[in-house]
């Protein structure tokens, strides 16, 4: 099978089918046939394709074939002996038709662009390759490497297929985004009750994984989220956990393999240490959205990222990020399904999907989901003008670099270092500052910085009274 023309990578559920294809290829390698024989056989199997027919027509016009025909005509019955001499010790038929096919295979091997390799061999012509170029797609198969041109071609083909079905790509982080895990030995005394409350695989959300000495809690609303998101997106898992952990978590989230199939990427499958990248995702950057709780993991793809509020169910998770408070599990509580993080972000995904496909005209080929994401984000704090007070140094040069300042502007707010009547909000942690007192006097909103963070995670302007500075100070 030639990857260029026949590979199941073309399908929108490509990596699963392609993994099966590669496994079958591996099995075939254990036969007695040589790599060259298999390459010739592969070329023959493609002969019904238009591309192969065109190549065959070209070969028939090549001088080598014409010369061979003239030799056969002049030598008559001795032509078979000549052919056998030319083919050496091969056991193939010496008919004229085979000679053309053999030359066709040889010529194809000569002009093969080597779109990818399996181990050290080209996946099309079987030639052993010395140099390594392109990207290794270990999550599809540990020995599969595709060249950059082939990846571009596959992305273009798959993108057109998905866009016809009104789908985009969605890359999902695991830890603190879809679930929270902890080692059993890290459970606190107040969490011991959890060991008796684990659920069944099909319906549950709390799992004790004895083989991994750990416990995992799925985030509320995750089953509904995955089901509804799958209608709009081709979904990938991408985690900084190792491969065995990634596959185990995928099994909990998707026991029937309805959503991810083999599109499960772990840190072992990435191309850069401590970084995630879309180079191993078979989707064009302009059609990919990312959900992750860690912005720094996506330094090259921040424009694709929707930052998630971290899910801290276990105490070890709170301690990992420096929170000195009781965890949800210790409080015997959890996020609310109806207005929690996943429910909120699903509404955003629907909005982006709708805007991308239904509100931007007739053609979608030249659209960019990153621009749609930016447009939707800028609506969150539109018409708000903010001044910060003792949140960070407010000289203009330093202020513009601060994360909160940049976050507010991304959400559509304008930021200033000076007070005037156009200011709508003063953001502070101290109700006693001069700017804070001005806000109260002028009946402007005085809010804690968490008001901006909440708007960023929930993608809508939050009630200011829930983030009053005096209330935050007393907590």
User: Where in the chain are the domains?
Assistant: 116-146, 165-358, 380-467
In whole angstroms, what is the distance from residue 462 CA to residue 339 CA?
13
**DSSP single-letter state for residue 31:** S
User: Residue 428: which H helix or E strand, with range?
Assistant: strand 425-428
Q: Give mean pLDDT, residues 171-195.
A: 96
Structural contact between residues 426 and 439, judged by C-beta atoms closer than 8 angstroms? yes
3-class state of residue 179 by DSSP: strand
Rounded Cα distance, 338 and 221, in Å:
8
HEC assignment per residue over 109-175:
HHHCCCCEEECCEECCCCCECCCCCCEECCCCCCCEEECHHHHHHHHHHHHHHHHHCCCEEEEECCE
Does the fold of domain 380-467 match that of domain 165-358? yes
Residue 154 has pLDDT above 90, yes or no: no
Give the best-scoring range by mean pLDDT among 6-15, 133-142, 185-194, 390-399.
185-194
Environment class of residue 207 by beta-carbon count within 10 Å: exposed (0-12), middle (13-18) or buried (19+)?
Answer: buried
For residue 228, what are the contacts with CB-CB under 8 A and spacing of at least 6?
A: 346
Decide: 245 and 239 in contact? Cβ < 8 Å: yes
Pick the CATH number of 380-467 from 3.30.1950.10, 3.40.50.10190, 1.10.8.80, 3.40.50.10320: 3.40.50.10190
Those residues whose C-beta lies under 8 Å from the C-beta of residue 349, and which sit 6 or more positions away, are 170, 229, 232, 233, 289
User: Residue 211: which residues within 8 A CB-CB, separation 6 or more?
Assistant: none
Identify the band that residue 200 occupies on the pLDDT scale cut at 50, 70 and 90.
Answer: low
Tell me the chain's radius of gyration from C-alpha atoms.
30
Q: Taking residues 416-430, what's their average pLDDT?
A: 95
Asked whether the predicted pLDDT for residue 270 surpasses 80, the reply is yes
More confident residue, 110 or 328: 328
Whether the CB-CB separation of 304 and 285 falls below 8 Å is answered with yes
pTM of the model: 0.74
Higher pLDDT: 137 or 315? It is 315
Query: Of 331, 332, 346, 341, which is closest to residue 311 (Cα–Cα)?
Result: 341
pLDDT digits (tens, 9 = 90+) for 101-114: 544 555 555 688 88
- CATH fold of 165-358: Rossmann fold (3.40.50)
Long-range CB pairs of 313-320 (<8 Å, 24+ gap) are: 313/180, 313/217, 313/219, 314/180, 314/181, 314/182, 314/186, 314/187, 314/191, 314/215, 314/217, 315/182, 315/186, 315/187, 315/188, 315/190, 315/191, 316/182, 316/183, 316/186, 316/187, 317/176, 317/180, 317/182
> What band does 454 get if pLDDT is binned at 50, 70 and 90?
very high
Mean pLDDT of the chain: 79
13-32: per-residue pLDDT in tens? 444 555 555 555 545 444 44
More confident residue, 34 or 374: 374
Q: Is there a contact between 422 and 404 (Cβ–Cβ < 8 Å)?
A: no
> What integer pLDDT is reported at residue 128 of this predicted model?
85
């Amino acid at each position: 099978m030639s990857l260029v023309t026949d590979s199941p990578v073309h399908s929108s559920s490509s990596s699963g089918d392609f993994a099966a294809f590669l496994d079958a290829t591996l099995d075939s390698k254990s036969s007695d046939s040589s790599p060259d024989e298999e390459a010739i056989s592969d070329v023959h199997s493609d002969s019904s394709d238009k591309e192969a027919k065109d190549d065959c027509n070209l070969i028939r016009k090549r001088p080598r074939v014409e010369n061979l025909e003239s030799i056969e005509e002049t030598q008559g019955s001795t032509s078979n002996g000549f052919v056998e001499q030319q083919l050496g010790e091969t056991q193939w038929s010496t008919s004229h038709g085979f000679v053309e096919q053999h030359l066709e295979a040889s010529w194809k091997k000569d002009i093969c662009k080597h779109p990818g390799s399996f181990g050290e061999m080209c996946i099309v012509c079987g030639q052993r390759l010395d140099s390594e170029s392109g990207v290794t797609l270990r999550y599809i198969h540990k020995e599969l490497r595709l060249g950059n041109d082939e990846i571009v071609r596959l992305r273009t083909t798959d993108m057109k297929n998905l866009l016809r079905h009104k789908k985009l790509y969605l890359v999902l982080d695991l830890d603190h985004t879809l679930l929270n895990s902890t080692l059993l030995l890290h459970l606190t005394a107040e969490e011991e009750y959890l060991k008796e409350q684990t659920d069944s695989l099909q319906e549950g959300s709390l799992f004790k994984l004895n083989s991994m000495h750990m416990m995992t809690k799925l985030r509320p609303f995750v089953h509904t989220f995955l089901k509804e998101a799958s209608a709009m997106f081709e979904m990938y898992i991408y985690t900084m956990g190792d491969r065995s952990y990634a596959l185990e978590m995928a099994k909990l989230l998707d026991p029937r393999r309805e959503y991810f199939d083999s599109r499960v990427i772990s840190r072992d499958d990435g191309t850069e240490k401590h970084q995630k990248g879309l180079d191993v995702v078979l989707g064009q950057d302009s059609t990919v959205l990312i959900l992750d709780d860690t912005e720094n993991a996506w330094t090259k793809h921040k424009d694709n990222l929707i930052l998630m509020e971290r899910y801290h169910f276990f105490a070890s998770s709170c301690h990992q990020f420096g929170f000195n408070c009781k965890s949800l599990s210790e409080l015997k509580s959890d996020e609310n399904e109806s207005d929690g993080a996943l429910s909120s972000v699903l509404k955003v995904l629907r909005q982006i999907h709708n805007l991308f496909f239904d509100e931007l005209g007739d053609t979608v080929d030249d659209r960019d989901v990153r621009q749609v994401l930016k447009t939707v984000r800028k609506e969150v704090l539109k018409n708000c003008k903010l001044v910060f007070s003792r949140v960070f140094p407010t000289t203009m040069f330093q202020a513009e670099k601060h994360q909160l300042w940049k976050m507010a502007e991304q959400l559509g707010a304008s930021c200033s270092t000076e007070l005037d009547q156009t200011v709508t909000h003063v953001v502070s942690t101290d109700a006693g500052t001069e700017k804070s007192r001005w806000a109260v006097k002028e009946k402007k909103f005085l809010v804690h910085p968490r008001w901006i963070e909440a708007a960023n995670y929930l993608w809508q302007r939050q009630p200011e009274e829930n983030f009053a500075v005096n209330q935050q100070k007393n907590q």
